Amino acid sequence: MKKEPCASPAPVASGLAGGRGLRADAERNRERILDAAREVFAEQGLEASTNEVARRSGVGVATLFRRFPTRDDLVGAVFADKMADYSAATEQALANPDPWAGFCGFIERVCQMQAGDRGFADVLTMTFPNAKALEAERDRSAHALTEVIDRAKASGRLRADFVHQDVPLILMANAGVINATRSAAPEAWRRVVGYLLQAFAADAAHPLPAPPSRGQVYRALMRLSDAAPASIAQ
């Protein structure tokens, strides 16, 4: 009897197609979660409930937890683009031929970024050791910011006692103003930042108390981060 040619086993083909479908579904779920988290964090800050993130994304909390087991995982993914924009702001400051204008423009820009996104206002006043990519981007921008500060000082326009640790203090102060005035006076942060920039000018300088050390600032950032829940399974 003549043998018929062997056909490809149907279960294998079906399994491959199913695998591709599962991967596509998982990626769609991931994007829905990130879109919802961006929206919720921008409105409510990082203390927002992940139940609300899950609700708006249309996935279950268990699915969210599988994709992002910890808060750092979710924060790192949600704010990767914003942290890249923060780094870009330091590069723009360095590219400005006027070092003082570059410094002032940087401070105004990042404070505006905080005002536009309550979650990012929180991110800039915390540190997330387990969000490796986010913290690596922050470190890169920190090196560039040191150069921004040094150039502005060398120009004679920025007061000589301004130090890198002052930037987190500015961002913490701005975040507090934004959170307190968001609904009643959403542009109030601009006046506070204007006051600060005038105080940073060399010709307005008067002696100040010593700044906190870098270690003290880092511990403050860690304290703020530790105050929020570490796990997103709420």
111 and 172 fall within a common domain: yes
119 and 216 within one domain: yes
Domain count across the chain = 2
Q: What CATH number should be reported for the domain holding residue 17? A: 1.10.10.60
User: Cα 75 to chain center, whole Å?
Assistant: 8
- Do 68 and 96 fall into the same domain? no
Structural domain includes residue 117: yes
122 with 144, same domain?
yes
Residues 47, 90: one domain? Answer: no
Residues 193 and 152 in one domain: yes
Q: What is the pLDDT of residue 9?
A: 46
Please report whether residue 7 resides in a domain. no
Residue 211, SS3?
Answer: coil
What gap in Å lies between CA 161 and CA 158, rounded to an integer?
9
From 75, 103, 127, give the residue that closes a domain: 75
Query: In 3D, which of 165, 70, 66, 178 has the Cα closest to residue 120?
Result: 178
Task: Report yes or no on 45 lying in a domain.
Answer: yes
Task: Evaluate whether residue 188 is within a structural domain.
Answer: yes
58 in the same domain as 126 = no
pLDDT value for 21? 57
Q: Does 67 lie in the same domain as 89?
A: no
In a shared domain, residues 130 and 33:
no
pLDDT at 234: 42
| Domain ranges, residue 65 | 12-75
* In contact, 47 and 95? CB cutoff 8 Å: no
pLDDT in tens, the chain (234 residues): 444 444 444 444 444 455 565 578 888 999 999 999 999 999 998 888 889 999 999 999 999 988 999 888 999 999 999 999 999 999 999 999 999 999 999 999 999 999 999 899 889 888 888 899 999 999 899 999 999 999 999 999 999 999 999 999 999 999 999 989 988 999 999 999 999 999 999 998 888 889 888 888 878 877 655 655 444 444
Q: Where a domain ends, among 45, 75, 105? A: 75
Measured between its terminal Cα atoms, the distance across the chain in Å is 67
CB neighbours of 207 closer than 8 A, spacing ≥ 6?
Answer: none
Q: What pLDDT shows up at residue 25?
A: 83
Q: Is residue 233 part of a domain?
A: no
Tell me, yes or no, whether 41 and 136 share the same domain: no
Instruction: Please provide the DSSP assignment of 17-70 as one string.
Output: HHHHHHHHHHHHHHHHHHHHHHHHHHHH-TTS-HHHHHHHHTS-HHHHHHH--B
Residue 155 domain flag? yes
